């Protein structure tokens, strides 16, 4: 759902690639004012941009759909994912949008093509995401892989035909091949002794923080709409950016008869105290879904410098990294810094990196 004037409205159907794809639900939605809807559904009439240069998500969306749809619908959806406080590159994040723009626009009046797959839009391992990591670690150990987690990697240098990693406990490890899957700023620091051309593009990738308060409450203590959560446009004001109803989105995240909300606060609040984060979240739930009494569970959590921002120029940085990596046989890079911030892209990138190292061994 999406908040407008303090009330929650269903997100219009027919979003495609995180932007509106169907005109009728957009015209009918109560989530944005009528004037904004009329402007938005005129999207197919907006001529395609001829310039080939990259563009920010904000500029693209306002050009195609108008400011009302950007502020009321699109920015709230993209902001939490990509960090739209920066000028985020369309080509690096949603490259198909420019193609669709040239293909007669993004909106369709008729729904055509195969029906969207039914079933839940979200999935995660039962028991939480760490089950995925635990299963991977178990599978590796069964194959005789030794996993060391005691000391961070401080720096990487060449070592004969391979690489030497210096660790924080002042020991080092040498290997013929090296796969680096670290957050962008750490990659920059660790790889600088090896090659400044490799480090510089990573150092130029800004990182975004996130902060959330988790609030548990008895289901009968609030009137929560049947939705996996809601987004709060910036224009609505207030400290809350989005709410995920974890207990509705993922089975088994709250005891029977209880609900669990994850309330994302705006980045400016990252440094607020735990109590302030929780208080802001509880206040929001009181106003939006009529939460009564005291929560049964609260927890504040921050993800610092956790999400890379693909700002304008990102694709140039990726190309620079690729060119520099090619000069280091047996070196591969993976992780969210370059080619996709979500897990599916990260997993695909990791497989590609692993395959490139296997090919190196074959050679």
Ligand X SMILES: Cc1cc2nc3c(=O)[nH]c(=O)nc-3n(C[C@H](O)[C@H](O)[C@H](O)COP(=O)(O)OP(=O)(O)OC[C@H]3O[C@@H](n4cnc5c(N)ncnc54)[C@H](O)[C@@H]3O)c2cc1C
Give the interface segment with ligand X, choosing from 182-190, 277-285, 319-327, 353-361 (CB under 6 A).
Answer: 182-190
Site for ligand X in 221-250 (CB under 6 A): none
Per CB under 6 A, which of residues 148..167 are in contact with ligand X?
Answer: 152-153
- Comparing CA positions, the residue from 11, 13, 9, 10 lying closest to residue 24 is 13
Pick left, alpha or beta for residue 345 (phi over 0 → left; psi -120 to 50 → alpha; otherwise beta). Answer: alpha
Indicate which single residue of 31, 332, 338, 346 sits in contact with ligand X (rule: CB under 6 A): 346
Q: Yes or no: say if 92 and 336 are a contact pair by the CB < 8 Å rule.
A: no
Number of residues that bind ligand X (CB under 6 A): 16
DSSP 3-state of 163: strand
Whichever of 27 and 81 has its CB closer to ligand X, that residue is 81
Q: Is 205 in the site for ligand X (CB under 6 A)?
A: no
What single string gives the DSSP state of each residue in 335-363? Answer: STTTS-SSHHHHHHHHHHHHHHHHHHHH-
The span of 47-55, 60-68, 199-207, 336-344 binding ligand X (CB under 6 A) equals 336-344
Cβ proximity to ligand X: between 108 and 164 the closer is: 164
Any contact of residue 342 with ligand X (CB under 6 A)?
yes
Please choose, from the candidates 8, 73, 5, the residue with its C-alpha nearest in 3D space to the C-alpha of residue 243: 8
Q: What is the DSSP string of 214-232?
A: EEEEEGGGS---SSSEEE-
Name the residue number minimizing CB distance to ligand X.
Answer: 335
CB closer to ligand X, 100 vs 339: 339
307 near ligand X, rule: CB under 6 A: yes
The answer to whether residue 341 forms part of the interface with ligand X (CB under 6 A) is yes
b/e string for 223-261 if b means 16 or more Cβ within 10 A?
ebeebebbbbbeebebbbbbbbbbbbbbeebbeeebbbb
Minimum CB distance to ligand X, residue 260 (Å): 15
- The answer to whether 336 contacts ligand X (rule: CB under 6 A) is yes
- Nearest approach, Cβ of residue 293 and ligand X (Å): 28
- Name the segment binding ligand X (CB under 6 A); options: 98-106, 249-257, 310-318, 337-345: 337-345
Q: Which stretch binds ligand X (CB under 6 A): 34-42, 233-241, 285-293, 335-343?
A: 335-343
Q: Specify burial of residue 146 (Cβ count, 10 A radius: 0-12, 13-18, 19+).
A: exposed
- Does 41 bind ligand X (CB under 6 A)? Our answer is no
- In whole angstroms, what is the distance from residue 189 CA to residue 156 CA? 9
User: Measured from the CB of residue 154, what is the shortest distance to ligand X in angstroms?
Assistant: 7
Instruction: Indicate whether 343 belongs to the interface with ligand X (CB under 6 A).
Output: yes
Distance between CA atoms of residues 227 and 240, nearest Å: 17
State the Cα–Cα distance between residues 90 and 82, nearest whole angstrom.
Answer: 11
Stretch that binds ligand X, among 15-23, 95-103, 230-238, 299-307 (CB under 6 A): 299-307
Using CB under 6 A, which of the segments 27-35, 178-186, 194-202, 217-225 binds ligand X?
Answer: 178-186
Q: Are 197 and 243 in contact (CB under 8 A)?
A: no
CA distances from 363 to 81, 325, 358 (A): 40, 17, 9
Contact 332, 354 (CB under 8 A): yes
For position 191 contacting ligand X by CB under 6 A, the verdict is: no
Q: Which is nearer to ligand X, 8 or 153 (CB)?
A: 153
Residues near ligand X, by CB under 6 A:
152-153, 181-183, 186, 210, 303, 306-307, 335-336, 341-343, 346
């Amino acid at each position: 759902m999406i908040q407008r004037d303090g009330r929650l409205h269903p997100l219009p159907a027919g979003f495609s690639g995180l932007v509106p794809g169907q005109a009728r639900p957009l015209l009918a939605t109560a989530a944005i004012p009528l004037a904004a809807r009329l402007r938005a559904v005129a999207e197919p009439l907006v001529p395609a941009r001829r310039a080939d240069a990259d563009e920010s998500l904000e500029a693209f969306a306002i050009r195609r759909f108008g400011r009302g749809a950007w502020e009321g619908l699109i920015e709230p959806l993209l902001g939490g994912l990509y960090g739209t406080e920066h000028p985020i590159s369309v080509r690096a994040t949603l490259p198909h949008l420019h193609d669709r723009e040239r293909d007669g626009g993004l909106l369709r009046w008729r729904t055509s093509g195969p029906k969207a797959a039914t079933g839940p839009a979200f999935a995660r391992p039962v028991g939480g995401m760490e089950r995925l990591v635990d299963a991977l670690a178990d599978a590796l150990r069964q194959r005789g892989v030794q996993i060391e987690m005691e000391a961070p990697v401080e720096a990487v240098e060449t070592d004969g035909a391979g690489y030497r990693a210096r660790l924080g406990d002042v020991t080092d490890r040498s290997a013929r091949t090296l796969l680096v899957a670290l957050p962008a700023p750490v990659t920059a620091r660790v790889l600088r002794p090896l090659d400044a051309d490799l480090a510089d593009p990573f150092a130029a990738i800004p990182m975004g923080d996130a902060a959330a308060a988790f609030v548990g409450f008895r289901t009968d203590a609030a009137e929560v709409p049947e939705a996996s959560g809601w987004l709060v446009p910036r224009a609505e004001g207030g400290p809350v950016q989005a709410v995920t109803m974890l207990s509705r989105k993922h089975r088994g995240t709250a005891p029977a008869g209880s609900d669990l909300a994850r309330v994302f606060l705006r980045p400016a609040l990252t440094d607020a105290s735990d109590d302030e984060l929780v208080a802001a979240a509880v206040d929001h739930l009181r106003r939006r879904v009529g939460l009564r009494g005291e929560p049964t569970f609260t927890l504040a959590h921050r993800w610092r410098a956790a999400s890379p921002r693909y700002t304008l120029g990102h694709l140039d940085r990726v190309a620079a990294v690729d060119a520099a990596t090619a000069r280091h046989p047996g070196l591969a890079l993976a992780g969210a810094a370059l080619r996709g911030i979500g897990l599916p892209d990260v997993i695909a990138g990791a497989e590609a990196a692993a395959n490139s190292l296997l090919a190196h061994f074959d050679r």
